[in-house]
Chain A
């Protein structure tokens, strides 16, 4: 039975939603390991976009380099798979040139916070209406498990064979401090919450960040003895606390916990809107 027949026969199932957004002529399979969290993130994005009823044509999906950055190639949107760390400047060009577009950036911890760190803080500062979905798996997956800016202190990677001597970034705190106007966190265990966060982020006018804690059992899990994909997801379940619950917990209790939900939101003015005011004023003056 073809997808089209299925759609006609019954109310649209979850799998049909996903199929509807997969790029029709793309040669599959994808590059991701079996059990990778990227699939959960991708389906959450697709469901969020479907619920927001956005037209596929008005969505531009931009990414850099890394495992999660392959996502735009698989999805049926305007796809720009760019250079390592640079997705946000390319996305800025698209959004600024065509402010009606919904621009979503898929990035990883290495892509956004190491090589792309400067672009990340400045996109936040401008508060340009772009949604960045940062898939944080604490490691460089595509190149084989090297330490990243989110690799926890003492954790093992192929470039921290004796344990990581460095400190790590909290991407959400970084984004908030740099000026982002919507910041949320979810894990790949919390798929419905992730979907909701993405919906809110895409709907928000201004720079929005959704950090998704995701499993790289192949490298981070194996090197740190965290077990397979399922055990890593179970750990996310156990270690996550909602924003509401976190408010009642001490810093000591919150150590090693993932606080999930909307962490920050404000309604400061958005860059393209402000620039349009300048254009309107200057064109009016001529």
Chain B
């Protein structure tokens, strides 16, 4: 189904294309607006390529089945929205602890609770970082167009496999239900990463070995390694432990395997930042309006630029700081009550002004609103 044809594609179906391109062959999910077309697309496409689709009894079961498929060596994903993600966090936490690669698509809608099923939002940004209880480091990516959604889904799978970790795709209703004309990637156009398999014999194999890169090779069930996977804190052999030194090693591993390789994970889009005195920092669908607003402001002679975060988590502290060095004012527009603005504020020098432009009434931020804000802070 991956071809070079130009295609008018729905955002939610772009996820399906990207995931299949990346090698996804297992989907488990539960219907929820506005993500349902992802499941529907998978139910159509997966049997045609020998894959598996299952509609589970709830979201808790969906992410459970995804982890089960992944430990069986099959690339797996699920798709949901905020209320479903809330149910999934238990087993997403299990995937962090057991270092199981998988992808979770959160097509965000307004909340809390059942909230606004058909309205876009970016209010689960912090949930993608802090959803499950306990200490761990999360990876989350945020596309802003239908085309982005294909490539960011491929990237999400690659990061999940590379770092043996769940990766959340922060989509929102705006992109998920948008149709755009895009070129589907050709085979070979994007790199596809697969998890590293062990070379050690089963007798010498340590399933959660502390390697230089922090990531332990991962065999599939049935390949002769017969190891233990548990959500209890475990040692390098996968056995439960209460030893302080082993507990610390495990938690350090969960953090360091990601933070020590942040440059491989961070992806930013930089527009007109060379001489910019004011910068927008945005992510997700809002970036579309920012791009137009910045272009219009530039025409009027305003030295403004934009930085779009394709990687929201881990937060790109150092890279962002470097790009913002010459700016004395930063505007962070978001479809929530202020989540990423706190992260940006945390990394800015004290003399840089930070402004928030927030919308959480179910409507999108328009280029005009962004220009008004720009004028206000100038």
Interface residues of A (CB under 8 A from B): 23, 25-27, 56-58, 60, 62, 72-73, 76-83, 86, 88-98, 100-101, 118-119, 122, 275, 278-279, 282-283, 285-286
Interface string of B3-36 (1 = CB under 8 A from A): 0000000000000000000000010100000000
- Contact B226 A56, beta carbon cutoff 8 Å: yes
**Provided the pairs A101-B222, A278-B47, A283-B48 are in contact, do residues A81 and B232 lie with their beta carbons within 8 angstroms?**
yes
- Contact A57 B226, beta carbon cutoff 8 Å: yes
- Contact A94 B226, beta carbon cutoff 8 Å: no
- Majority SS at the chain B contact face: mixed
The answer to whether the Cβ of B56 comes within 8 Å of any Cβ in the partner chain is: yes
Q: Which residue of chain B has its CB nearest to the CB of A80?
A: B229
**Provided the pairs A78-B227, A81-B229, A119-B61 are in contact, do residues A73 and B221 lie with their beta carbons within 8 angstroms?**
no
* Least distance between B164 CB and chain A CB atoms (Å): 16
- Contact A92 B68, beta carbon cutoff 8 Å: yes
The answer to whether the Cβ of B281 comes within 8 Å of any Cβ in the partner chain is: no
* Least distance between B161 CB and chain A CB atoms (Å): 16
The answer to whether the Cβ of B215 comes within 8 Å of any Cβ in the partner chain is: no
* Least distance between A277 CB and chain B CB atoms (Å): 10
Q: What are 26 A-B pairs with beta-carbon distances under 8 A?
A: A25-B239, A26-B239, A57-B223, A79-B230, A80-B221, A81-B229, A82-B67, A82-B91, A83-B90, A83-B231, A86-B91, A89-B61, A90-B67, A92-B56, A93-B65, A93-B72, A94-B221, A95-B68, A96-B68, A97-B26, A97-B52, A101-B72, A119-B60, A275-B47, A283-B49, A283-B50
> Which chain A residues border B26 with CB–CB below 8 Å?
93, 96-97
- Contact A93 B226, beta carbon cutoff 8 Å: no
Q: How far is the CA of A113 from the CA of B15 in the complex (A)?
A: 36
Interface residues of B in 39-75 (CB under 8 A from A): 47-52, 54, 56-58, 60-62, 64-74
The answer to whether the Cβ of B228 comes within 8 Å of any Cβ in the partner chain is: yes
- Contact B50 A78, beta carbon cutoff 8 Å: no
* Least distance between B92 CB and chain A CB atoms (Å): 11
List of 4 A-B pairs having minimum Cβ-Cβ separation, nearest first: A93-B68, A89-B64, A93-B65, A89-B61
Q: How far is the CA of A262 from the CA of B87 in the complex (A)?
A: 37
**Provided the pairs A78-B222, A92-B68, A118-B58 are in contact, do residues A283 and B47 lie with their beta carbons within 8 angstroms?**
yes
**Provided the pairs A89-B65, A91-B68 are in contact, do residues A81 and B52 lie with their beta carbons within 8 angstroms?**
no
> Which chain A residues border B226 with CB–CB below 8 Å?
56-57, 76-79
- Count residues of B near A (Cβ-Cβ below 8 Å): 46
- Majority SS at the chain A contact face: helix
The answer to whether the Cβ of B224 comes within 8 Å of any Cβ in the partner chain is: yes
The answer to whether the Cβ of B237 comes within 8 Å of any Cβ in the partner chain is: yes
Q: How far is the CA of A93 from the CA of B61 in the complex (A)?
A: 9
* Least distance between B3 CB and chain A CB atoms (Å): 13
Q: Which residue of chain B has its CB nearest to the CB of A70?
A: B240
* Least distance between B207 CB and chain A CB atoms (Å): 10
**Provided the pairs A26-B239, A80-B71, A283-B48 are in contact, do residues A73 and B230 lie with their beta carbons within 8 angstroms?**
yes
Interface residues of B in 215-254 (CB under 8 A from A): 220-232, 237, 239-240
* Least distance between B74 CB and chain A CB atoms (Å): 4
- Contact B61 A86, beta carbon cutoff 8 Å: yes
Select one of B65, B67, B70, B228 contacting A96, CB under 8 A: B65
